């Protein structure tokens, strides 16, 4: 199974910024006016088409099993042609009960990232259940069926859905409640923790508090009206658990979610136990900013920030843990954005998984990975090959057990 690259967003944004600088002031104004005039026709068409086809994503409800059945029906009715009914299963909300022969710890609500699905939490959910937590993984609106569903999507729908799931699950019970977030899901989870004092802890993988393309993404809402797709339209969708195609509006709404968190976090901090995990080779997240937020805004004594890198990294206190990122015997050069929360046993993304994610923002680099007859190297996006053999994306974490050990320390499970 081949997964196409998803970071060409940076390429078109840089192109747009460069063109804008060359055009001159009056030409920029003319272009913006033309875009704004087009709003009376083009966006109306997109919104109407999206409303007709993808309206009705099931709202959260108290009966989570019923919600899951409703989501399955909705996904089957709106699914893109490239996916089978079996593929839909990867995208469904899920629930795992706490293991009965261990002490009960509470509830963990898990929130996935942009263009992803609850499947990204499958390995972590098993470990949480084994440690005595009830676990729910939710599916955000605009995910699980087709990227087209994000053409008319607001970040408020993602936050509201997550908030409603949390409210329903916490209602009427005095049970410890925890939140997990991956990438954009980390932004949402942190926002909800700031809003709700009954949240008892956070588990955040690659929390995308700020993108490496932050200064460019601020223009993406406007640009999405002019060019709705990063790739010019839908591309091949062969990954059953996440999207390959990228609606620019999805990126724009992610950016807005980070701005919403920034406003919510202003003048506040969180004193609940928190474990964050990230790779310094992450091509998506500004990890230096993440580390600053961790130190300034998260104050519990047991907190840990686990960073993967092959370079020297100076930390000022023992709350920051640095571990090596390379595993040459597995041809892994470093850890990527998503690999940090997946184990080597994962059916899709593990050591013997069926999904190959190729790096490369240009066709020569990408096709060399795609058609290579040699054994790939694995690394984060933009990782150079040591010998010319193509580099595919690292999709699992050989150090997964160390993440779990730190989790036990942070949440006092020893």
List the one residue out of 229, 230, 179 whose CA is nearest residue 207: 179
Q: Residues 327-345: pLDDT tens digits?
A: 999 999 999 999 999 999 9
List the one residue out of 235, 35, 214, 229 whose CA is nearest residue 150: 229
Cα-to-chain-centroid distance, residue 330: 25
Question: In angstroms, how far apart are the furthest CA atoms of the chain?
Answer: 70
Question: Which pLDDT belongs to residue 9?
Answer: 44
DSSP 136-182: EEE--TT-SS-GGGGTT--HHHHHHHHHHHHHHHHTT----EEEEEE
d(CA 112, CA 101): 29
% pLDDT > 90, the chain: 70
Treating both helix axes as pointing N-terminal to C-terminal, what angle do 184-195 and 248-265 enclose, rounded to 10 degrees?
30
Ordered structural domains, the chain, with CATH: 32-327+401-410 (3.40.50.1820)
d(CA 280, CA 48): 42
Helix, strand, coil distribution of the chain in percent, nearest 5:
40, 15, 45
Question: Which pLDDT belongs to residue 40?
Answer: 38
Q: Residues 211-233: pLDDT tens digits?
A: 988 888 888 888 788 888 776 67
DSSP character at residue 411: T
Question: Which pLDDT belongs to residue 235?
Answer: 72
Question: Which pLDDT belongs to residue 14?
Answer: 44
List the one residue out of 339, 335, 276, 280 whose CA is nearest residue 312: 280
Question: Which pLDDT belongs to residue 285?
Answer: 96
d(CA 240, CA 250): 19
Cα-to-chain-centroid distance, residue 92: 16
Q: Is 119 exposed, middle or buried (0-12, 13-18, 19+ CB in 10 A)?
A: buried
CB 96 within 8 A of CB 135: yes
Work out whether the CA dihedral 376, 287, 223, 52 comes out positive or negative.
positive
Q: Residues 247-283: pLDDT tens digits?
A: 999 999 999 999 999 999 999 999 999 999 999 999 9
Q: Provide the token pair at 163.
A: 């908030």
pTM of the model: 0.87
d(CA 102, CA 138): 25
| Residues with pLDDT less than 70, the chain | 1-52, 231-232, 316, 361-363, 414
Question: Which pLDDT belongs to residue 231?
Answer: 64
């Amino acid at each position: 199974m081949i997964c196409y690259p998803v970071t060409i967003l940076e390429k078109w944004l840089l192109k747009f910024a460069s063109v804008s600088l060359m055009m001159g002031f009056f030409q920029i104004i003319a272009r913006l006016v033309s875009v704004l005039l087009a709003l009376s026709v083009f966006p109306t068409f997109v919104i109407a088409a999206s409303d007709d086809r993808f309206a009705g994503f099931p709202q959260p409800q108290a009966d989570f099993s019923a919600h899951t059945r409703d989501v399955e029906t909705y996904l089957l009715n709106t699914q893109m042609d490239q996916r089978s009914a079996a593929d839909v299963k990867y995208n469904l909300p899920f629930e795992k009960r706490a293991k009965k022969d261990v002490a009960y710890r509470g509830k963990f609500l898990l929130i996935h990232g942009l263009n992803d699905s609850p499947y990204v939490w499958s390995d972590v959910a098993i470990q949480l259940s084994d440690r005595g937590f009830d676990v729910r993984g939710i599916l955000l609106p605009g995910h699980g069926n087709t990227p087209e569903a994000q053409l008319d999507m607001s970040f408020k729908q993602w936050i509201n859905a997550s908030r409603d799931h949390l409210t329903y699950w916490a209602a009427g019970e005095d049970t410890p409640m925890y939140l997990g977030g991956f990438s954009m899901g980390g932004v949402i989870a942190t926002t909800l923790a700031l809003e709700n004092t009954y949240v008892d802890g956070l588990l955040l993988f690659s929390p995308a508090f700020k993108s490496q393309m932050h200064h460019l993404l601020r223009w993406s809402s406007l640009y999405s009206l002019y060019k709705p797709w990063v790739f010019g339209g839908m591309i091949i969708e062969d990954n059953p658990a996440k999207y390959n195609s990228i609606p620019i509006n999805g990126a724009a709404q992610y950016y807005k979610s980070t701005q919403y968190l920034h406003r919510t976090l202003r003048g506040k901090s969180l004193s609940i136990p928190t474990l964050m995990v990230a790779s310094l080779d992450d091509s998506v997240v500004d990890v230096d900013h993440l580390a600053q937020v961790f130190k300034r805004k998260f104050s519990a004594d047991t907190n840990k920030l686990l960073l993967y890198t092959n370079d020297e990294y100076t930390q000022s206190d023992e709350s920051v843990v640095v571990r090596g990122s390379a595993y040459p015997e597995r041809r892994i050069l470093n850890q990527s954005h998503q690999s940090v929360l997946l184990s080597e046993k994962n059916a899709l993304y593990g050591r013997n998984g069926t999904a190959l994610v190729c790096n490369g923002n240009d066709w020569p680099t990408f096709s060399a990975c795609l058609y290579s007859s040699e054994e790939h190297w694995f690394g984060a996006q933009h990782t150079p090959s040591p010998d010319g053999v193509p580099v595919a994306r690292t999709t699992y974490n050989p150090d997964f057990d160390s993440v779990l050990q730190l989790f036990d320390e942070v949440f006092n499970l020893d």
